Chain A
């Protein structure tokens, strides 16, 4: 049986915290913490897209920016985009696009900014979870929320939500983003060397985790509007 920190079971998520509306100036915002990984997402838009030649005449352009703050990791991260953050920005955009009714806002841009405040593995999935809630908070029309989590395999055991040091010993790191109502996967990546059977099983495990996160996302959105 694999030994996880804090006696976590293989299919157990880290403690999950979701807060809505944390950035006053933004049109929508959310904070998501999975254990010691924390992401804050802010949404601005839809607003007119400039320059005009980049506008799409029948829908909105979605732009996502993933960024790690310098003191989020053990070794300081130099501010500014890296190749890694640009790639993550792109896959994050593809993870969120299917959920949004972009066609309701021609010639406009919706911007999602994700800042990783603390990084202890699973930052891109925390970012997607926060971005999804922030988009809903901004009143952007969506088909469904998007939840995300990573799976792996350690010592012959499939594990959910890799944390910190687990990233170094896992046989694979497999982040998944998922729209539960539609049962559709919007982000799928893998680092590792695995059989297709293993991968299928890990994806299913990740989907289980996404469904739990999805309920928490909804709870957090409802909590904002609870009459006190």
Chain B
């Protein structure tokens, strides 16, 4: 093993981290709303040095055939090559696709958006919520930052005026109907310890990560295990507890 990896693992085994945080502590979180004025809703989240932008553009289109009176949510994530020497240009690769789908599930399964209120003409026209996540700097834990930016962008999204034919983006009519605030907490397993908000270096030595989306009422609305090391029930239950507790703290930062 690389000596650096060994050092990091031993440190965490002792309950310590390079930046002196506790194992269940987040780096400094900064959330900015409405950062991109042409978006219908947007947010920038910084967790430590990790920076992610999320933006919403509303459009009108056909509903899904099995949900003729509900609006549609589409989540896309781009790992911009700006953000890391590891990211390349080109269409999203599996990590970006997984991130987008996990963030999507957290929002969708929680019922955060009241999609029935987004129906214009049943079976024909509904509002489409295009939520795009754009990474700016990858210093670890992109998922938590992305999910937080996503829900914050949705919370400040305003629906533009629609006259039946054209959307007038310059006139905003009302807020997007958002009922809940799902947040994502990633819990990484390193050296048999559970660690929250891993840095880039910590992500390199982690065996596996459990991504847990939680809802305002204490329910879990999405789960994803990432990585090849196995987990036992004890670890999973402890991770749930951590995610619910930390989720509450993250949720309080939203407005």
Chain A interface residues (CB < 8 Å from chain B): 22-26, 29, 36, 38, 40-42, 44, 65, 67, 69-76, 79-81, 111, 113, 115, 117-120
Contacts and interface: CB of A to CB of B under 8 A. Distances in A.
B130 A25 contact: no
Contact of B36 (A23, A42, A72): A72
A25 B55 contact: no
A149 B82 CA distance: 23
Interface string B49-64: 1010101110100000
A22 B80 CA distance: 14
Contacts of A111: 81
Contacts of B36: 38, 69, 71-72, 117-118
Nearest to A119: B38
Nearest to A41: B82
B42 interface: yes
A65 B134 CA distance: 16
Nearest to A47: B85
Given A23-B137, A117-B53, 14 more contacts: A23-B82, A25-B84, A25-B137, A40-B136, A67-B80, A69-B134, A70-B76, A70-B134, A71-B38, A74-B38, A76-B132, A79-B76, A79-B91, A115-B82
A44 B136 CA distance: 14
B39 interface: yes
Contacts of A22: 136-137
B136 A23 contact: yes
22 contacts: A22-B137, A24-B49, A24-B137, A67-B89, A70-B55, A70-B57, A71-B55, A71-B57, A71-B132, A72-B39, A73-B38, A74-B38, A76-B57, A76-B132, A113-B80, A113-B81, A113-B89, A115-B134, A115-B136, A117-B36, A117-B53, A118-B38
Nearest to B41: A71
B interface bracket (residues with beta carbon within 8 Å of A) = 20 to 34
A44 B85 contact: yes
